[in-house]
Structure 1
Amino acid sequence: MAATVELTPTESRAAPSAGWPGRLLRRGTAIVLFLLIWELVPRSGLVDRVFLPPFSQVAAAWFTLVGNGQLPLHLGASLARSVTGLGLAVLVAVPLGVLVGWYRPVAEALEPLLELFRNTAALALLPVFVLLLGLGETSKVSLVLFACAWPILLNTVSAVRTVDPLLIRSARSLGLSAPSLFWKVVLPSAVPTLFTGIRLAAAASIMVLVAAEMMGAKAGLGYLINSSQFNFQIPQMYAGIVTISLLGVVINQALVAVERRFSRWRA
């Protein structure tokens, strides 16, 4: 008689049958239903298809924009501004957040000013950036920098302040110096919260940049959407909106992959 083998719960979860096909199906169902509704509602006459064209028309317009080179041009312009502003925000906000979170005198001196500026909406300052820096690239990148700095700064401060005190005491009992304590204990422990702030900032960078491009730009996804609306090229307008959504997903997944690489110790 053939022997039977029973899988433990851990082994069952690791079995191939519970792998990526099932997860992909579950995650894709909602998107497929949304696109199906988008396709059917305009065709059924519930909404005017002039103002909300079926998804198939939007997809056709998207491929047309890719084929004639317009979409890569606008996407490249927006991506360059967004990544530059986000990168500068990381370089500025992370060290400042570490100082505020780690050194109490710095926190007491800077927190009132930081609290004032973080409650100022970035888009409300767009006219100020334009007046001071003009309509060129500098004002747009600076606005993205301002918008991205606050999620990164606040999450960095929180990450440094919420490191497990037991880990710090254990490291000090082993004779680690202050720099070694920071690099080997505080910074690795802060990585998950820090990357949460960076991911929030990445989403903010796209939203703020698109709004800025709608007001004064000659290239970019915001310019594409605004120009398509004025010229009544509605499928192209929705194609630009879809591209922004896809760009946000790609950037977020890239940051998640980087976070996993820096957080492998947690496994």
Structure 2
Amino acid sequence: MAYLIDKPSALSSFRLPGREGAAGTPRRAKAEGGSLAYGVPLLLAFFLLWEIAPRLGWLNRIFFPPVSEVILAWRNMMASGILAEHIGMSLQRAAIGFGLAVLVAVPLGFLMGRYSMFEKISDLLVQTLRNTSQFALLPVFILLLGIGEASKIAITFYSSVFFLLINTISGVKSVDPLLIKAARSMGTSEPGLFRKVILPASVPSVVAGARLAVKSSIFAVIGAEMLAAKSGLGYLIQQSQLMMETADMYAGILTLTAIGLIVNYLLVWFERSVTVWMSRSDGSDT
């Protein structure tokens, strides 16, 4: 840290919450990555059961086709470009809504977590909005913004912003008070305190909120597409169900599941990378 260059002290011995053991992150990541292998046999057994149950008549093949037929339908839709087009539309809507949520929730969360008076003033409004179902507000968004892209992005934003906001507030409040006092005693400015202490310590909580927010944004955009859209994975799933093209429907569902898993693990990787980078940066300053 900049203020430790002139005043080496006990503050350099502190570890920021969420950064403990950062040097061991690659080993932990390797262990967690290896642990995924333990779940593969059960997952394969699930798909095997999915394949044989309809063929043996345990399930109605019309409503629950074998997984091989679902994979074939997925391949055909990818080859035709239909599935890629729907995926692109859903991801675009979810990404815009999530990006807007980050721009609003993270700064607001830092303000509410850092300044108690600001939190007291804004908390009642935040809690009121947070406890209002996003799907109950979907008709309102459609009435105000129409059935175009704006209403879908709005519902996506609304469904994800509060996960980020609450977790950011929690992350700021969880910062060790001793770290803040130690930094203050050395004359650290408020921007320096935020950059060197509060922000690094809050990263794990913010990323945890982002993981929840991403899932919520994807779910919200799928729900909106099922109700008022002519493109996107939600529209594809809904139309396939109505046309009794169940293989296409399950292909859309599996695609949605895969997207959720990929995004989740990308955020896990991002959290680890940022944690390691901040740990190295902090070490270089000391």
Query: TM-score, normalising length from structure 1?
Result: 0.90
Distance of aligned partners of 1:120 and 1:20 in 2 relative to their CA distance in 1, 3 Å threshold: closer
Structure 1: distance between partners of 2:76 and 2:66: 16
Structure 2: distance between partners of 1:128 and 1:19: 47
Unaligned runs of 5+ in 1: 1-13
Q: 95, 99, 103: which one pairs with 2:111?
A: 99
Partner of 1:174: 186
Partner of 2:7: none
Structure 1 position 36 matched with structure 2 position 48? yes
The residue identity in structure 1 corresponding to 2:150 is T
Structure 2: distance between partners of 1:123 and 1:49: 32
Partner of 1:5: none
The residue identity in structure 2 corresponding to 1:136 is G
Q: 214, 221, 224: which one pairs with 1:209?
A: 221
Aligned residues: 251
Per the TM alignment, residue 63 of structure 1 is displaced from its structure 2 partner at its CA by 0.3
Unaligned runs of 5+ in 2: 1-26, 281-286
Structure 2: distance between partners of 1:250 and 1:105: 39
Per the TM alignment, residue 260 of structure 1 is displaced from its structure 2 partner at its CA by 1.3
Q: Deviations over 1:33-87 (max 9, x none)?
A: 1111111211121110110111001000000100011000000000000011001
Q: 228, 231, 241: which one pairs with 1:219?
A: 231
Structure 1: distance between partners of 2:154 and 2:103: 13
The residue identity in structure 2 corresponding to 1:122 is Q
Q: Deviations over 1:133-153 (max 9, x none)?
A: 000000000110011100000
Structural RMSD (CA): 1.7
Structure 1: distance between partners of 2:223 and 2:200: 35
The residue identity in structure 2 corresponding to 1:214 is M
Q: Whose RCO is larger (CA < 8 A, sep 6+)?
A: 2
The residue identity in structure 2 corresponding to 1:41 is A
What SS is found at the alignment partner of 2:248? helix
Structure 2: distance between partners of 1:155 and 1:21: 25
The residue identity in structure 1 corresponding to 2:156 is V
Percent identity between the two aligned chains: 45
Structure 1: distance between partners of 2:85 and 2:225: 14
Query: TM-score, normalising length from structure 2?
Result: 0.84
Structure 1 stretches of at least 4 aligned residues deviating more than 4 Å after TM superposition: 18-22
Equivalent residues in 2 for 1:31-180, closer than 5 Å: 31-180=43-192
Structure 1: distance between partners of 2:41 and 2:186: 52
Structure 2: distance between partners of 1:22 and 1:101: 37
